Amino acid sequence: MRKKVLIAMSGGVDSSAAALLLQKQGYECAGATLSLCGNETDGAKRIADGLGMPFYIFDEHELFAREVMDHFVSEYRAGRTPNPCIDCNRELKFGALLDRALTLGYDYIATGHYARVAYDAESGRYRLLRGAERRKDQSYVLYQLTQHQLAHLLLPVGDYDKPAIRDKAREAGLDNADKGDSQDICFVPDGDYVTFLQRQGLTLTPGDFVDEAGRVLGRHRGLPCYTIGQGKGLGVAVGRHVYVLEKDQVHNAIVLGDDSALYASSLLASHVNWISGQIPAAPVRCAAKTRYSQVETPCTAYPLPDGGLRVVFDQPQRAITAGQAVVLYDGDEVLGGGTIEKSE
């Protein structure tokens, strides 16, 4: 009997190519779109229809609003900078969608992420690996995957680079083969996240820009308008290029300073996930990155008694930001990661 897979389809070329590849591999395929914030298109259904696949639309507006959008607002309210795509992956794509798939009798779900799943027979565990094409690798946003989820996950595009995926879509006659990649947060399609936050009830309270000694340098629009490491659009002239070093919630102040002051040697993280399912008993030599676009850097990861994580870098890292993720790698394997609480 053929294995059944439910493919998360967005209307983009990557998820469409995932469906195409899995069909060719002999799986019994169906497509699905999660209706989340009211701006989904019918592109995914059109592709699924063209491939002769059943197609589902699952309404997850309430879950998305509660776990992703509300969390996005609360994190900015707390002076942090969240990554909503990671929250969505955890709660929606690999949470709600997987639950629905298993309930409907599917063996797997699949997405168009550029990453890979491998099974290690010796340890009896699943491993999450980078995509074969490093420049397109999306494993950073998947660090929260569990053994249960990996056991029911297929990532067929992870063995290819983007040009090869577009070629396969073009050869199959898919009309989205040359569709551009989406760069925006789905619920902030115009990129203006500050206006979105205001619509959600977050009030911007102007305050002072100060230097590291506390001297007032000017006025800011409100803490959510800025992020650690920002050097443009500050609207303050101090005779040299300065950057956001800290968002001081207590005094509603933003500390500005030189680029050199943005570097820190370690960080603390919470909500830690170890993909193996086991917390290491000793410090782990590995590599880590603290932003999606970074190149990972050597470090030592120290599991903490409270379930948290301390990461000490071999070389100081720039603009470590509370609310973002630190993700740990051992070569091509993703070990896990957590939410950054603060730099040290």
* 174 C-beta neighbours (distance < 10 Å), count: 21
What does the DSSP 8-state code read for residue 317?
E
Going from the C-alpha of 223 to that of each of 44, 74, 83, the distances in angstroms are: 38, 13, 17
Sheet with 207-210, side-by-side order of all strands: 216-220, 207-210, 253-257, 243-248
306/342 Cα distance (integer angstroms): 16
Give the whole-angstrom CA distance, residue 80 versus residue 73: 10
- Within 8 A by CB and 6+ apart from 24, the residues are none
The H or E element spanning position 142 is: none
According to DSSP, the residues that pair with 329 across neighbouring strands are 287, 334
Whether 88 is a known active-site residue: answer yes
User: Is position 29 annotated as part of the catalytic site?
Assistant: no
Compute how many other C-beta atoms are within 10 angstroms of the C-beta atom of residue 314. Answer: 12
Which of 94, 95, 87 lies closest to 69, judged by CA? 87
* 37, 85, 186, 299: the active-site residue: 186
Per-residue CA distances from 150 to 6, 48, 68 (Å) = 14, 24, 22
Cα–Cα distance between 58 and 237 in angstroms, integer?
A: 51
CA 272 to each of CA 86, 99, 179, 328: distance values in angstroms, whole numbers, following the listed order: 13, 22, 35, 11
Element (H, E) at 87: helix 84-88
Dist CA 63 CA 30 (whole Å): 23
In the sheet where 55-59 sits, what is the strand order? 55-59, 28-35, 4-8, 108-110, 153-154
Which of the following is catalytic: 37, 85, 88, 299?
A: 88
Residue 310, strand partner residues? 268, 302
User: Known catalytic residues?
Assistant: 88, 186
